[in-house]
């Protein structure tokens, strides 16, 4: 396993280069501002007059239409949503300089063949292991979110050096940059989101909340126990793993963990996890997500609305209103 730090960065790899960031969402904004603060010449590719255009201008960045933004850029970071990237790439591909680097923050479209880059381009991945808001805040605090690095095409023989210089510019080398592949990043990222971080954790929280409320306990108490306190445990896990969590929770909590955890997440759960992994690996999930987008995202919107309207959200909004510091900490 190779983990890169600041000492591994070739400062000349992107010296004097123009970096075009196409897309100004969570990751795009964080990358652009961090790179600007690191001394790079950054231009944002966005639709004229749109929300992203106005936001980037307000942030003091140079903005142009995507086609114009990429002209002359040594590195182009394609940071639009996954399902929009193929169309954007087809729009800008004829305007990319020979030998330019095309950078992604997620390997989905390269791994699943939705984008087939020109052969004269370097194609690289820098994937921060955290949302854009965290990437920005950590950088401002002198810290950095760890990143993954991968190379899919090395047309100039300098692809990795360019990617590593970019990672350094957004603060990634402070936390460490782990070498991987587009396939590994894509599969593990999708698996983590679906099984643990978003799908698994959310469903565990909601089902726990529902169980307590259906048994007659106050929704507010259920919210605190099943959602609010989750961050306390996650922070301990992130800071020091399972060992640190055990150091800080009570003996009663530890005993409950030992005798109950495997009743909730058990062998059948792991069996289902393996099915999910297979569906990601063989492309079934990707094909379904692409099809959902092409047919209007009806199920996507239905599921999203159901989450937003769940009783736990109403209770949560009321309780969080009494804790304004939660929002201030963002």
Catalytic residues: 106
State both tokens at 22: 């196409």
State both tokens at 177: 């940059």
Give yes or no for a contact between 202 and 230, defined as CB atoms under 8 angstroms apart. no
- Its sign, for the CA torsion 171, 177, 181, 184, is negative
State both tokens at 308: 């937003």
CA-CA distances (angstroms) from residue 82 to 35, 39, 53, 61?
22, 28, 19, 24
Neighbours of 141 (CB within 10 A): 10
- Give the residue from 257, 107, 253 showing the smallest Cα distance to 188: 107
DSSP state of 149: E
Give yes or no for a contact between 92 and 76, defined as CB atoms under 8 angstroms apart. yes
* E strand intervals along the chain: 3-4, 18-22, 41-45, 62-64, 75-78, 101-104, 122-128, 147-153, 177-179
State the Cα–Cα distance between residues 191 and 175, nearest whole angstrom: 23
Give yes or no for a contact between 119 and 71, defined as CB atoms under 8 angstroms apart. no
Sorted by sequence, the CB contacts under 8 Å of residue 16 that are 6+ apart come out as 41
State the Cα–Cα distance between residues 161 and 124, nearest whole angstrom: 10
Map residue 44 onto helix, strand or coil: strand
């Amino acid at each position: 396993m190779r983990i890169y730090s600041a000492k591994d960065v070739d400062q000349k790899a992107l010296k004097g280069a123009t970096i075009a960031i196409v897309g100004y969402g969570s990751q795009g904004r964080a990358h652009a501002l961090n790179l600007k603060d690191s001394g790079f010449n950054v231009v944002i590719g966005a639709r004229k007059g749109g929300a992203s255009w106005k936001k980037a201008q307000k942030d003091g960045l140079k903005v142009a239409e995507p086609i114009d933004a990429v002209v002359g850029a040594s590195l182009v970071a394609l940071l639009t949503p996954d399902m929009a990237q193929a169309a954007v790439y087809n729009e800008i591909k004829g305007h990319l300089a020979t030998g330019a680097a095309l950078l992604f923050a997620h390997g989905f479209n390269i791994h699943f063949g939705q984008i087939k880059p020109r052969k004269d381009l370097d194609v690289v991945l820098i994937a921060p292991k955290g949302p854009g808001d965290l990437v920005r805040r950590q950088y401002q605090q002198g810290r950095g979110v760890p990143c993954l690095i991968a190379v899919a095409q090395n047309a100039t023989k300098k692809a990795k050096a360019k990617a590593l210089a970019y990672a350094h510019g957004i603060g990634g080398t402070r936390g460490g940059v782990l070498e991987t592949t587009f396939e590994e990043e894509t599969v593990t990222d999708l698996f983590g989101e679906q099984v643990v971080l978003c799908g698994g954790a959310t469903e565990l929280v909601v089902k726990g909340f529902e169980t307590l409320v259906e048994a007659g306990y106050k929704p507010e108490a259920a919210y605190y126990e099943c959602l609010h306190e989750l961050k306390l445990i996650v922070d301990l896990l992130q800071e020091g793993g399972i060992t640190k969590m055990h150091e800080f929770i009570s003996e009663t909590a530890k005993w409950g963990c030992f005798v109950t955890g495997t009743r909730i997440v058990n062998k059948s759960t792991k069996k289902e996890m393996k099915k999910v992994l297979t569906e990601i690996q063989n492309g079934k999930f990707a094909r379904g997500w692409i099809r959902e987008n092409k047919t209007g995202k009806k199920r996507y919107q239905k599921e999203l609305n159901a989450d937003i309207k769940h009783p736990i959200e109403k209770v949560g909004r009321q309780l969080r209103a009494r804790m304004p510091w939660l929002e201030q900490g963002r």
